[in-house]
Amino acid sequence: MRIGVITFPGSLDDVDAVRAVRLAGAESVPLWHAEHDLEGVDAVVLPGGFSYGDYLRAGAIAARAPIMQDVVDRARQGMPVLGICNGFQVLCEAGLLPGALTRNGHLHFRNRDQALRIERADTAWTHDYATGQRIVVPVKNGEGRYVAAPADLDRIEGEGRVVVRYVDGNPNGSMRDIAGVTSEDGRVVGLMPHPEHAVEDLTGPSTDGLGFFTSVVTAMVAA
Amino acid sequence: MSTDSATQGLSDLDTGPGRLSHRLDTVELAASTPDDEQPFAELGLEADEYARIRDILGRRPTTAELAMYSVMWSEHCSYKSSKVHLRRFGDLPPSDALLVGIGENAGVVDVGDGYAVTFKVESHNHPSYVEPYQGAATGVGGIVRDILTMGARPVAVMDSLRFGRADAPDTARVLPGVVAGVGGYGNCLGLPNIGGELLFDDCYVGNPLVNALCVGVMRHEDVRLAKAEGVGNKVILFGARTGGDGIGGVSVLASETFDAEGPAKRPSVQVGDPFTEKLLIEACLEIFAADLVTGIQDLGGAGLSCATSELASAGTGGMHVDLDTVPLRDSTLTPAEILMSESQERMCAIVEPDKVDAFLAVCRKWDVLATVIGEVTDGDRLTVDWHGERIVDVPPRTVAHEGPVYERPMARPADLDALQADDPAALPRPQTPEELTAHWLAVVASPDGADKSWVTEQYDRYVRGNTVLAQPDDAGVVRIDEQTHRGIALALDGNGRYARLDPYTGAQLNLAEAYRNVAVSGARPLAVTNCLNFGSPEEPEVMWQFAETVRGLADACRTLGLPVTGGNVSLYNQTGDVPINPTPVIGVLGVHEDVRRRVPTGWRTAGETVLLLGETKPEFGGSAWASVVHGHLGGRPPAVDLEAERALGELLAALSRQGLVGSAHDLADGGLAQALAESALRYGVGARLGLSGDPFPALFSESAARAVVTTSDPEAVRTAAEAAGVTVTELGTTGGDVLAVEGVGELPLAGLRAAWSATLPALFGSPEATVGRVPAGTVPTS
């Protein structure tokens, strides 16, 4: 089981994603934004950070990186892709996920330990959770407010594509408390909170985040 | 157009309507026009300093040379007022732990297993007052480059902030920008912010203190030094283009006192681009790993003037630069402006000719602009050409290392006797349980004592996944090896009230507090850095405070066996003739052999015994209680007992190693009252406690060398403490949702938390309230 972690200029949590992949029992493969080579990986993680300094719009420039064409092509064939924070922004900008992430309602960068509810436990990245399960992982962003047109929100909700929702407080003003969404086939997942920062008791508020990474390993082994 | 006087003076000389208009001021021209008047005073130089430059060169300096000397001989770069005192740190006995000492960009400490750690704290006070966001942001950027320059990967930052009274109008202008700037830069750089300080005092109105610390980790063999060696080696400038920002930042901003009538100095503040700095970090680390440089220096204060002269001066002495090859953001910059520019995110490397291609390839990979601008020469001159004409020809040591040194006059402050005689023992004390709890709440909910989440939630503390402890814990703890679990602990402390009452003792108390904060986490304290924030050195009373502070700190370091690895001095922190309280901010680095043994500050488990370690004396001088309840500053600060600090520190490390304590919290500002509240509120676990004797000193005294620990094995802790000669007092047991103290009262944690956490949002705005106002269903208009 090989999981690629893409580094864009300005990616920051790539080392954390690599660690989480390793702790989940998979081999991590570093991928470089400027290449057209996914090195035959089974799944891809787009890590958090400030790719291209969040200049223009968060994720907008990275979404047009050479490697993203390959990610989009493979994702449409069912390769699991996880976008965390900036990675979620990139996936929205690349058209793989619906909606957009905008400046937090309160205009501050916000880092806190955040309670989430798992709304879908049948995606490639959430198999190891139970629907309705409450988890606590860090959230940290300045542009994490999930928005979409009301009709689109209704459709996304109707199709069951909300994967995780903020509970006990919404840290950034996201519409309908949406913290993460998935593609129609449940293979591509993007979320603003950082499961890769909650994989060890020593350094995280919990180990609740590890499930995202073990889920994809289980899913791939089962497939 | 810049309205800045320094820029104005230079522009006039090079291209303006003056006598030298449209003529480049070359060395040749300078020699033939010895009597031309030069704007040395506008550039911050004294008449005798200017005369000395003429002496050194045997002619008048060219405009470019004058620019270089003016920035390098500024207080900020040359330490001309502080140098004679700082020698005390260099005179400390050699330490085995110190791999690189004072004088380099940052000191380097051996933390075991072949790992070396470099750390340093630096001020960006004046720029942060003028332009809070960029001033603070570039303060973080600058200290990170200092750490990177040593060959280390930066792994964490901290910030120590001081502002005027919390409800002063200017505080509302400066604080939000500073916090957003520290966060904006550090977050985008991917460095966890693991702690620091936020304090308020009237004396910082108009003089906020923004001190930023960075810590980096490397292997012993990877240490890099800033020197230019090897004739024929290339000088490569890489990173951002050079622009007109920050010209004269060190001389005009950092080395003068602000006055109300002066021109706006905003053009002297640099503008940061953390994205470029992130690329610079990754490119540098790749360049180091491939062994592609022989010397490296970052460009910070005084820009290219500093980097070229310091590299040449520390090396074999000769360097030539073709200044017209420097990539510019603004093509109208004059050569002098290019030499003085403090544009951020730039580095200068010395590279062997056969490694230049490999060096440039790494830079290309990371989209970092890199340009060969010169080479190391034989001889001992630093020469700079502009389109083939020589505009600088100087001995680099005279620019970088042989600047003026002043023995400024010193005088004990005239008001100090009266201040020390104004003993807080005379202040009315709380008599009833109601008054005691009211004072307790007042201290805890004061801006200094209150919850700092409003600030720290704007900082990323998780990135890189090695943060073991961060604020509100007493020390930040970072894992440096995932296999061995080795790690480091860091604390920053600087109580200006103590230092105002007695700078010698105050400096020692600040060191003792940082030492204690590292020790409560279970780490062994190893080395010291400092940022010394003072008023104008031209005031004898300020100079006396400075000298006493350095003496106190050096004496304490000698007693505790800790080396000073470097530091920073920020002078001219005063408005008109009122200086800030002397504010030595002291950083202590400790080592954890196994970070899994770290001790948090908060109570997590009910049923643990709460023990007070150390002795409480009636000491209220400079205390939070006197300040918050009575607005009083007077008397003497608490006594210092460094042997007691050492005994307590060793005991805490032993307790952590043996896994005997569930929590440990240092006692400092606000005494036991503050520590109990913080310990209980951390995880929402209360306690039932009893204080023997008069509860007032027990709660509010700020006697040093004390800590509160909780344990499930009080007998073992008692035995260990007695063996270490540390007094133990049993206070009670954790549990419940109230903080109950016999004879004082019961503080429900919910109410305590409400008071503690409401203060900063009430002053600076509540993010929650703003979220609530976001209209539902709003669609971005793209």
Give B781's pLDDT tier (boundaries 50, 70, 90).
Answer: very low
Residues whose CB is less than 8 angstroms from the CB of residue B758 and which lie 6 or more positions away in sequence, other chains included: B445, B450
Q: What per-residue confidence (pLDDT) applies to B253?
A: 55
Report angle CA B472, B172, B2 to the nearest 5 degrees: 115
Which residues of A have a catalytic role annotated? 85, 194, 196
pLDDT, tens digit, for every residue of B704-748?
999 999 999 999 999 999 999 999 999 999 999 999 999 999 999
pLDDT of residue B776: 34
pLDDT reported for residue A121: 97
Give the CA angle between residues B744, B680, B159 to the nearest 5°: 120
The reported pLDDT for the residue numbered B15 is 41
Q: Is the dihedral of CA B676, B461, A100, A199 positive or negative?
A: negative
Please report which confidence band the pLDDT of residue A223 belongs to, taking 50, 70 and 90 as the band edges. Answer: low
Catalytic residues of B: 76, 124
- How does residue A205 score in pLDDT terms, banded at 50, 70 and 90? very high
Tell me which residues of chain B, numbers 480 to 499, contact chain A at a CB-CB cutoff of 8 Å: 482
**Which residues in A lie closer than 8 A to residue B285 (C-beta atoms)?**
none
Tell me which residue in B278, B467, B780 faces A203 most closely, judged by beta carbons: B467
Least confident of A193-207, B8-22, B214-228, B546-560: B8-22
> CATH number of the domain that B310 lies in?
3.90.650.10
Using the Cβ of B154 and the Cβ atoms of chain A, whether some distance falls under 8 Å is answered with no
Q: Contact B76/B306 with Cβ under 8 angstroms?
A: no
B462/A203 Cβ within 8 A: yes
Chain B nearest CA to A171, separation (Å): 8
Q: Is B768 on the interface with A (CB under 8 A)?
A: yes
pLDDT of residue A55: 92
Which chain A residues touch B272 with a CB distance below 8 Å? none
Are B458 and A112 in contact (CB < 8 Å)?
no
- Is B774–A173 a contact, with Cβ atoms under 8 angstroms apart? yes
Q: Is residue B241 part of a domain?
A: yes
What pLDDT does B246 receive? 75
Is the CB of residue B412 less than 8 Å away from at least one CB of chain A?
A: no
Give the residue-averaged pLDDT of B383-401: 96
Q: Is the pLDDT of residue A131 over 60?
A: yes
- Is there a contact between A109 and B184 if contact means CB atoms under 8 Å apart? yes
Please name the member of B184, B460, B767 whose beta carbon is closest to the beta carbon of A140. Answer: B460
To the question of whether residue B125 is assigned a binding role by annotation, the answer is yes
Report the length, in residues, of chain B: 782
Determine, for residues A109 and B596 on separate chains, whether the beta-carbon distance falls below 8 Å.
Answer: no
B781's enclosing H/E stretch is: none
Minimal-distance CA residue of chain B relative to A11: B190
At residue A59, the pLDDT reads: 96
Half-sphere exposure of B496 (CA within 13 A, CB side): 26
Q: Report the pLDDT averaged over residues B163-184.
A: 96
Question: Higher model confidence: residue B22 or residue B20?
Answer: B22
Query: By the CB < 8 Å criterion, does B275 face chain A?
Result: yes
Q: What are the beta bridge partners of residue B733?
A: B609, B688
Distance in Å from the first CA to the final CA of chain A:
12
What is the reported pTM?
A: 0.94
Q: How far is CA B445 from CA A83, B567, B746, in A?
A: 41, 33, 17
Give tens-digit pLDDT for B339-391.
999 899 999 999 999 999 999 999 999 999 999 999 999 989 999 999 999 99
Is residue B263 within 8 Å of residue B116, measured between CB atoms? Answer: no
Does the beta-carbon distance from A111 to B462 stay under 8 Å? yes
Q: pLDDT tier at A142 (50, 70, 90 boundaries)?
A: very high
- What pLDDT is stored for residue B5 in this prediction? 37
Where do the DSSP E strands lie in B423-519? Answer: 467-469, 476-479, 487-493
Count the alpha carbons within 13 Å of A27 in the hemisphere toward its beta carbon. Answer: 7
| Nearest alpha carbon to residue B371 among B356, B354, B386 | B356
- Nearest Cα neighbor of B115 from B473, B481, B521 is B481
pLDDT at B770 over 70: no
Nearest-CA residue of chain B relative to A140? B460
Of B366, B767, B777, the CB nearest to A110: B767
pLDDT of B768 = 56
Tell me what pLDDT residue B453 has.
96
- Tell me whether residue B16 is in a domain: yes
In a domain, B740, yes or no: yes
B151-167: pLDDT as tens digits? 999 999 999 999 999 99
How many Cα atoms sit within 13 Å of B253 on the Cβ side?
29
Contact B457 A108 (CB under 8 A): yes
Average pLDDT over chain A reads: 96
> Strands, E, within B398-447: which ranges?
none
Of chain B, the percentage scoring pLDDT greater than 90 comes to: 85
Q: How deeply is B778 buried, as exposed, middle or buried, from its count of CB atoms within 10 A (0-12, 13-18, 19+)?
A: middle
Query: Distances from the Cα of B66 to the Cαs of A104, B18, B57, B217, B716, in angstroms?
Result: 48, 17, 11, 38, 67
Q: Residue B639 — very low, low, confident or very high, per pLDDT cuts 50/70/90?
A: very high
Determine whether the annotation assigns residue B354 to a binding site: no
Q: Which of B614, B631, B609, B551 is nearest to B732 (CA)?
A: B609
Q: Where are the alpha helices (DSSP H) in B581-735?
A: 624-630, 642-657, 671-683, 695-700, 714-724
B36: in domain: yes
Give a yes or no: residue B52 inside a domain. Answer: yes
- Record: contact B187-A54, CB cut-off 8 A: no
pLDDT tens digits along B205-260: 999 999 999 999 999 999 988 888 899 999 999 999 999 887 876 666 555 555 54
- Residue B734 within a domain: yes
Query: Residue B722's domain spans which residues?
Result: 600-764
CB contact under 8 A, B780 and A13: no
Q: Which residues from A are below 8 Å from B774, CB to CB?
A: 105, 145, 173
pLDDT (0 to 100) of residue B499: 98
User: Using an 8 Å Cβ cutoff, are B189 and B276 in contact?
Assistant: no
Asked if residue B102 has pLDDT above 80, the reply is: no
CA dist list (Å): B584 to B88, B122, B341: 15, 11, 29
Q: How far is CA B602 from CA A39, B113, B575, B657, B711, in A?
A: 46, 31, 40, 18, 12
Give me the residues paired with residue B729 across strands.
B612
Percent of chain B with pLDDT over 70: 92
A chain contacts of residue B595, beta-carbon cutoff 8 Å: 202
Residue B51's pLDDT is 97
- Residue B155's pLDDT is 98
Does B220 count as an annotated binding residue?
no
Q: Is the pLDDT of residue B648 over 90?
A: yes
B683 is in an annotated binding site: no
Q: Are B408 and B81 in contact (CB under 8 A)?
A: yes
CB contact under 8 A, B780 and A200: no
**B126 in a known ligand binding site:** yes
The pLDDT value recorded for residue B216 is 98
- What was the pLDDT predicted at B225? 82
The whole-number pLDDT of residue B749 equals: 97
B438 lies in some domain: no
Per DSSP, the residues of B727-755 read -EEEEEEE-SSEEEETTTEEEEHHHHHHH
Q: How many CB pairs under 8 A join A and B?
A: 118
Q: State yes or no: pLDDT of B26 exceeds 60.
A: yes
- Tell me whether B596 touches chain A (CB under 8 Å): yes
* Best residue of B462, B485, B782 to probe chain A, by most A CBs closer than 10 Å: B462
Q: Test B187 with A140 for CB contact under 8 angstroms.
A: yes
Of A49, A194, A202, which is closest to B595 when you measure between CB atoms?
A202
Could B275 and A10 be called an inter-chain contact, meaning their C-beta atoms sit closer than 8 Å? yes
Q: Which residue of B has its CA nearest to A12?
A: B190
pLDDT of residue B564: 95
Q: For residues B729 and B652, what is the distance between their CA atoms, to the nearest angstrom?
A: 15
Position B698 pLDDT exceeds 90? yes
Mean pLDDT in residue range B249-273 = 61
For B558-570, b/e burial (b = at least 16 CB within 10 A) is: eebebbbbbbbbb
Q: Enter the CATH code of domain A2-222.
A: 3.40.50.880
Which residues are B528's β-sheet partners? B564, B588
- At B436 the pLDDT is 97
Q: Do residue B458 and residue A15 have CB atoms under 8 angstroms apart?
A: no
Q: Answer yes or no: is pLDDT of B397 > 90.
A: yes
Q: How far apart are CA B342 and CA B300, in angstroms?
A: 6
pLDDT of residue B224: 85
Residues of B in contact with A149 (CB under 8 A): 779
Mean pLDDT, chain B, integer: 92
Which of B364, B365, B456, B460 to mutate to probe the A interface, most A CBs <10 Å? B460
**Which of B384, B402, B420 is the last residue in one of the domains?**
B402
Q: Which residues of A touch B240 (CB under 8 A)?
A: none
Comparing C-alpha atoms, which of B326, B313, B359 is closest to residue B103? B313
Cα A159 to Cα A119, A162, A163, distances in angstroms: 12, 8, 11
Query: Which chain A residues are within 8 Å of B279, Cβ to Cβ?
Result: 9-10
Contact B75, B255 (CB under 8 A): yes
B401 annotated to a ligand binding site: no
Q: Which residues of A touch B366 (CB under 8 A)?
A: 9
Q: Which of B373, B402, B431 is the last residue of a domain?
A: B402
Within-domain flag for B294: yes
pLDDT value of position B249: 64
The structural domain count of chain B equals 2
Tokens of B241: 């283009």
The pLDDT of residue B96:
85
The H or E element that residue A63 is part of is none
Pairing of strands A110-118, A81-84: unpaired
Q: Of B402, B431, B450, which residue is a domain's last?
A: B402
- DSSP H or E stretch at residue B184: helix B169-189
Over range A76-95, report the average pLDDT. 97
Sign of CA pseudo-dihedral B758, B764, B769, B771: negative
Does pLDDT of B19 surpass 50? Answer: no
